[in-house]
Structure formats: C-alpha cells, structure tokens
Chains A and B, each alone.
Chain A
Amino acid sequence: MKKIISFLLVSMLVVSLAACGGKDTIKIGVVLPDASEERWANQDGAFFIEELDALGEGYEYEILFSEGDEGKEKTNVEALIAKGAEVIILTTEGSGAGAVQAAHEADVLLIAHDRMAKSATDAADFYTTFNSWNVGKAMGAHLATQAAAEGCTTAAPCDLAIFAGRVADWPNATYFFGGAFEELQPVLGIFNIVNINDTFSDVALYTEATFNDAAKDALQAAMLPVDTDWNPEEAGIKAAAVVANITKTSDSIFVLAPNDDTSAAIRQEFAKMETPYENYFTTGQDASNVTLASLMGDPIKGKGTQTMTVFKDVSKLVADSVAIAKNVVDGVDGLLGLTSGPSIDGAATAYSPIDTLLATNPQLTYDTIFASGYKDESDDTFSNVDFSPYK
C-alpha cells in the first residue's frame, strides 16, 4: 500500500512538473477574473495572448486567472511582482483594493482593464474601458426613439420594464444605468413602468458631467430592486415576478435589459405570458451569438425579439491596455497614442470605441461583426440566417 501511495504522490509531482510552462522573469503581468467565463478565457484572454505575443522579446508576459476569488487575485498580483513584472494589467474580481496596494507598495504600475481597481485612498494608475455612460445612453436612446415611433404619448403611455446589472460592479453597472436613464428620464411620461415597485419615477436627471456621489447613491438605490447580478437565472426570476404582476396598458413593451444574456432570459419570461405583447423592444450589450442571430433576422433561434445591442469590441480594449503596458515598459507616457477620457478616481482613463447595432440595420451588424472576422458566420447559431444580401 505504501508503495502505491508513494507512487501516486510521485506521479502527481511529475505531472505538475510537466505542466510547468512558466517563464522565470517577466515584464508584463495580466490578471483576469475567471477562466471559466467565456468572456475572460476566450475573448480577453485570447486577445491578450495575441497582442502580447506580437510585442515579442523584451516584453515577456504571463496571464493568470483569479477563479472568482479576491484572495487569489491578490496572490496572483503578488506572484507576478515576485517574478519581476513592471506593469500589471488587472481586471479585478472585487474592488481591487488589495491588488492596488500590493502593486504600489512594490512600485509596480497597475492598469485597470475594463473594471476600476481602487482602495479607499488609492487607485490604479490607468483605466481602460469603453465609455460605459455612452453604452447606457445608446440603450436608453433606442427605447426612447422606438417609443416615439410607436406613437406612445402621455395620453396613451406604453409599458416599460427596467432591469439593471450588478450594483456592486462599480462603476460599470451604475454608468450603464445612469446613461440609459439620462435618455429615458425626460420622456418617462410616455411610459407606464410595470416594475413591481416603481423606484424610478422620482430619480432626478443626471448626466456624465453632473454625476457625483449623490447621483451614485440615487441611481444605485433605484437599481437595487432590479439587480440581475449579471446572471441570466437571477434576471429570469426577477422578470418572472414582473410578468406575473403586469396589467397591460399597451400592445408594445419596452424593456431596458443590461446585457444580452440577461436580456435573453428576460424576454423568455415575457414570451410565457398568456397573451404576449405584439411588439417587444429590448436592449442589450456584448453582441452574444443569440443576440446577433436575432439582429440578423433569425426568427427561431434569436426569437427575432432583441432589437438592439451595444457591441464593445474587446480586441480594441485589449489593444489599448497592451499599448499602455508597452508604453510603461518603454518608459514613455502611458496614454501616448490613445484616446483619453476624463480621469476617473484619479486614474488616467483611455476610452475604447463602441458600436450600436440595431435590428433595423443588419448591414451594419454584418459589416462590424462578420465581415471583420470577429465572429464566424458558419457557427451553428447562425444556421437560419441568410447572409447573402449583405455581402
């Protein structure tokens, strides 16, 4: 028995040794939240490998995943520092406070990738992001223009359901919501809010310029009851509750959904109504496959019901983060050659461009997503879509 145990132990060691592929010293470290999420493993993670490999010698790098654990995230940052990283690109799992502290204590620069990383007294040095406020504005504007086009008025208001992202995901979720609300707030009169508790009607108008702590508190208080946790299951549960309590006042329903996955879950609940709405308008972001099929007019797989999404080209975001990291290693100004935004929490911000894709303009969707090679049209999800008119 002892022999078997020692054999197992030794073979385990050999396996772990064989699996070792690390480099001894590195210049650039990357810490991403979770290898089990499509977004981090196959989008950001893959693009990082592509971009950093292209930099070649002198820019050795290593990518680690935090497995959804904030303690592990700090461990990863510390490990990268111990291996000599000069700059670390971090998408934080939580607030990133521990990572900021560890990096700055070792005089290592920190680039917050897509999510802000900050503690009470300190923040990342750079922040690369899509302009989240504008993402929200695009969603809100879509609902507002569609409502006007459908003939909704104060006399004959249309139904509106509102859902938000994870409140704790600061600043993104709040910015999405704030941006959307900037567009919706002035025209709330033509809507009849069908959420169980209307926490929205009394919220004041905030713009990105007037956004402050009071705005943050007001918006987050409104968001809390409709927090989907970015989780389709949670979104479905919340939507089912809304659906169960609806008294229809119009034939059209407008749904503010924070992203494509939750949007899909929410519209499934609305589709289960005894007499569903005739027209269904909803928002989203991320350009997921199901949503793209929907925007390209697939009536079955996409249910033909998502009417817009905001496409944030992750490869552009990754390129921006890598460009900053390269600048830091080269010893020049980090934002050299990038579009800078307003400084958020004291971090120099770089904005990556966003695209609004609408069901009414499949040509644009085709050009942005498929012609550019971002997604492959031969994917099974798009089997019902006829791409030939757009080529």
Chain B
Amino acid sequence: MKENVKTKSFMEKLSWLIYKYFLTLISMLRTNIRDYGMYIALMTIFVAFGIMTGWVFLAPVNFTNLLNQTAYVSVLAVGMTLVIVTRQIDLSVGYIGAFLGAYVVVAVENQGQSVVVALLGALVITVIVGIIKGLFIAKIKVPAFVVTLAGMFIFKGFLMLKTNNRYIPTSHPFFQKIGIGYLQTYEVAGVDLITLIIGGVLLLAVIFSGIRGRKKNVKLGIPNEKIELFVTKLVFMSAVLSYLAWTLASFRGISYLLLITVVVVAIYHFMTTQTTLGRRIYAVGGNPDAAELSGISVEKILVIVMVSMGILALISGVMYASRLQNTSPNHGPFWELYAIAAAFIGGCSAAGGIGKVVNAVIGSIVIMSLKNGMALSGVNANIESIILGSVLLLAVVFDIYTRNVRPVDLVGMHYAKKEFGNELKQAKTELKEAMLEFKLAKNEKKDDVLEYEYKVTNAQGTYNKINERIRIAKEEDFIKV
C-alpha cells in the first residue's frame, strides 16, 4: 500500500489527503449520528429561517431574543432530562413553576418580603413538594404520570389562589434585572468588549482543555480520536463560539437569563458526567433492578431527581415571570410539554438511561427557533404546532433507528477494498453463478436441487465474510502493516 502512495505525484497525494479527510469526517458523522443529528437539524432550521426572513433571524437583535426566549424552557428541559433518564415523567412542572414564580412575585411585591426570603420560602416549598412527589413515585409506586398529573391540577389551583385571578406586575429591581437586564457592558464602536472577552476566554478554555484531555489520554493509554477530527471539531466549536460572542456583543451583551441558563446547564453537565450521583442516576435509568442490586438506593435517587426538577421549576418560573414582568393565572400551561419535547428532541430515550442535559438545551432551542422563526417570517401560526409535532416525532423515530448504528471507518474500508476488492468481485460472480444454476435446476425440477442450494448458501457465506471484513476494516490496521 505505502509504496503505492509514495510513487504518486504531489497533486494526487494532496487530493488523496483531502479525500481521506472527508472520508474520516463522514465516518465519524455516520458512527455518531445520534449525537450530531440534532445539531444538523438545528443548523437546517437556522439556515431555512435565515433565508425565509432575509437573515433577520440570525441578526444580533433576534438571536439575543431567541436565547432569552429559550431560557425558561432550557432550564426545565435540563431537569426533565434527568426525570426521563430515570424512566419517569413530570407533568406538574409547568404549573409548579408558574405557582412558584407567582409566590416569589406576590411575596416581594405585595407582602414586602425581601427577595432572598421570598426565594428561600419558594425553595422550601419546592423541596418539600419534590420529596412528596418522589416518595409517592418511589415508595408507594404510584405511576409518575398520575402523581404529577395530580400535581398539575393541584398547582393550577394554587396558582389561581396565589394570584387571586389577577395579573400582578413586577416592579422590584430584582425582577427587572433577571427578566430584562444585561450584564455590565463596555462598548467600543457598538460592540461590547466584556462579552467578547468572556467569549475569548471560553474559546481558549475549550481549546486547552481539549489538548490537555488528549495528553491525559496518551498518558493513560486510552486511544485518542483522530487528529483530523479533533482539529475539525475545535475549528467548528471556535466558529460557533466566536459567532455567538460577536452576535451577543453587537446587540446588548449577555443577558441575565442567558447567564442563569448557562450556569444551570454547566452545573448539571458537571453533575451528570463527572460525579457519582450522575452515574447513579444513569444507572437507575438504565436498569433499576441492577442498580438496586449493586447497592444504589433507587428510592433516594428518584427523590433527588424530583427535588432537582422542582428547584429548576422554581428558577424557570421566576425567569418567566420576570421576563414578562408580571405573574398571572394564565401562566404555566404547556411548559412541561415543551420541556418534555425538548428532552426528546435532544435525544433522550423513552426507555430510560440515555440523554444528555446539553442536548436538551439544543432541543429547547429547536422548539423556540420554530416559534421565533415562524413569527419572524409571518407564517400562519397554525402551522407551527404541526411542524413542532413533526419534528418531535422525527426526532424520536431517528433516535430509535440510530440506536444500533455500527461504527464505520470509511478510510479503513477504502484500504480494505483495495486489498480485498478482487476477492470480493470474484466471490460476487461465484455467488451469481451459483444462484443462476440453482434457479435453472429449480425450473428443471432436478432431483439434486438441494445440492445447488447448498452451493448458493456457501457462496453467499464467502461473499458475506469478505464483505464483513471490509465493513469492519479500520485505518489503523493498514497503517501498521
């Protein structure tokens, strides 16, 4: 192989390198399609709405709006991911969130409590409610659907009582800041430097942590991903980060809504990927019985998940009330359903055990992009629900069909085809011949038809064997040769 490559001209070598790069990239996409499918969908939606709205959709103003609009769903979707991972569902979060938002607003605006006291009060309520929900589900074994459906009705009532069927406007600076405030800015020529600096720091952090991770892997003897892929991913992420930073910086900087979302997601991402608690949650979701046998208290985990969902509902409710600058008996419906849809669009598995919080946020952005983009392009709003429903269904179907995707290495296959290509061709012709003979024999009703069938089966076996050898070929196998 290698000598072959060496004898080629420079141009041929270059084109082979480019070809090989794309083969590697496509192999990775095909192997990890589950992880990337949603990003591709999001990009498609962005580009489609970009075209439909004359790129107003991606302009700084609207992009900032979009992220602020998404905030409350994202926070709920993060919690809902864990709920779904543990094979449960929570229908009560919409009205619980709206109720807790109303609780905080009423306490601050009408009862003159300080913000901290009001938030602590709401926190105590939501923790207690979470424990009760968790115990009903884990101990008494009432299906989560029923427990939380009951919670939905109950908290709808509490919301009505708390707001006394009226809108209560917010005026406290805390709500102003959370709902419509932005971080301190330092503008130069209409662009906020602070946002750019934060973006730059994040960018460097991403690059360095990536490189450090590779070094660590080398030290531990864990195989790294291919360098081409690593660089491509870094370039892609840098581009996205730079675009985000620039877009936000050229409008009004970073909003508190965005900041809270990012902090919540960061905490939950760390919790789910780096801590024992996170591992236990996924273990319980993957197989509750096995988890119980291995010493994990399933009951405790379920209660923790429900409490965490409740706390996020509190954050979400306060964000929503602050953004709309009032609390109202009409808040709450559909929040939980958006959160559930976001989690599923983000690749959560309905069978439990699978789902990433970051992807749930992407799912939320997909949902809100549809809402925002439809409004911006003046599309008949009735179509929005149809599209959202279709996307949700497609996402789940996609998830099921890609569940058992086998890894593939197109570069390896390319080498293997060169090496075994002739064998494969020969096997194929033999198979064809055998099949033809078998057909003839069948038509002529020969006595030894079975013999011919054996031949076909054998030929098929040989062919499959070679085909499979090519299919599982890896690049490393050939470089080492």
Contacts and interface: CB of A to CB of B under 8 A. Distances in A.
A65 to B, nearest CB: 5
A97 B376 contact: no
A211 interface: no
Contacts of A81: 61
B326 interface: yes
Interface stretch (A114-122, A230-238, A366-374): A114-122
A94 B376 contact: no
Nearest to A121: B171
Contact of B167 (A8, A101, A168, A224): A168
A105 interface: yes
Name B's interface SS: helix
A98 B324 contact: yes
Contact of B376 (A79, A95, A98): A79
A375 B464 CA distance: 75
Interface in B41-65: 41, 44, 48, 51-54, 56, 59, 61-62, 65
Contacts of A72: 371, 375
A46 B106 CA distance: 39
A35 B56 contact: no
Contacts of A38: none
A12 B334 CA distance: 24
B165 A167 contact: yes
Contacts of A21: 378-379
A23 B377 CA distance: 7
A9 B391 CA distance: 8
Give the bracket for the number of chain A residues in contact with chain B: 35 or more
B324 A17 contact: no
B380 A97 contact: no
Nearest to A70: B324
Contacts of B109: 120
Interface in A87-109: 93-95, 97-98, 100-101, 105
Interface in B160-180: 163-167, 169-171, 179-180
B376 A83 contact: yes
Contact of B52 (A2, A17, A35, A79): A17
A82 B326 contact: no
Contacts of A378: none
Given A70-B328, A168-B328, A83 B56 contact: yes
A105 B54 CA distance: 24
B382 A23 contact: no
A166 B372 CA distance: 30
Contact of A71 (B163, B320, B325, B376): B320
Interface in A167-204: 167-168, 170
Interface in A113-143: 118-121
A52 interface: no
A75 B401 contact: no
Contacts of B328: 70, 94-95, 168
Contacts of B330: 68, 70, 93-94, 168
A20 B401 contact: no
A63 to B, nearest CB: 8
Given A20-B379, A35-B381, A65-B381, A75 B372 contact: yes
Given A82-B56, A82-B61, A95 B169 contact: yes
A187 B383 CA distance: 53
A11 to B, nearest CB: 10
B329 interface: yes
B390 interface: yes
A13 interface: yes
Contact of B326 (A80, A95, A220, A227): A95
A105 B333 CA distance: 28
B325 A98 contact: yes
A94 B378 contact: no
B398 interface: yes
B387 interface: yes
A64 B325 contact: no
> Residue among A1, A68, A168 with the most chain B CB within 10 A?
A168
B308 interface: no
B326 A119 contact: yes
B381 A82 contact: no
B320 A78 contact: no
Interface string A17-29: 1011111100000
A65 B385 CA distance: 13
Contact of B65 (A17, A24, A82, A95): A82
Interface in B375-418: 375-384, 387, 390-391, 394, 397-398, 401
B87 interface: no
A62 interface: yes
Contacts of B372: 75, 79
A44 to B, nearest CB: 15
A97 to B, nearest CB: 4
A210 interface: no
A17 B326 contact: no
B380 A19 contact: yes
> Residue among B328, B381, B398 with the most chain A CB within 10 A?
B381
A70 B72 CA distance: 13
B456 to A, nearest CB: 27
A267 interface: no
B331 interface: yes
B323 interface: yes
A30 B185 CA distance: 33
Contacts of B377: 20, 22
A35 B398 CA distance: 32
A54 B380 CA distance: 21
A149 interface: no
B92 interface: no
A389 to B, nearest CB: 43
A207 B3 CA distance: 100
Contacts of B180: 101, 105
B167 A75 contact: no
Given A19-B380, A82-B59, A97 B326 contact: yes
Contacts of A220: 166
A224 B163 CA distance: 13
Interface of A: 1-2, 5, 8-9, 12-13, 16-17, 19-24, 35, 62, 64-65, 67-72, 74-76, 78-83, 93-95, 97-98, 100-101, 105, 118-121, 166-168, 170, 220, 224, 227
17 contacts: A1-B401, A12-B387, A12-B390, A16-B48, A19-B383, A21-B378, A70-B328, A72-B371, A75-B69, A79-B376, A95-B169, A95-B328, A98-B179, A100-B325, A118-B169, A119-B170, A227-B165
Given A71-B72, A75-B375, 12 more contacts: A13-B48, A16-B52, A19-B380, A35-B381, A68-B330, A72-B375, A78-B69, A94-B328, A105-B180, A119-B170, A168-B163, A220-B166
Interface of B: 41, 44, 48, 51-54, 56, 59, 61-62, 65, 69, 72, 109, 163-167, 169-171, 179-180, 320, 323-326, 328-331, 333-334, 368, 371-372, 375-384, 387, 390-391, 394, 397-398, 401
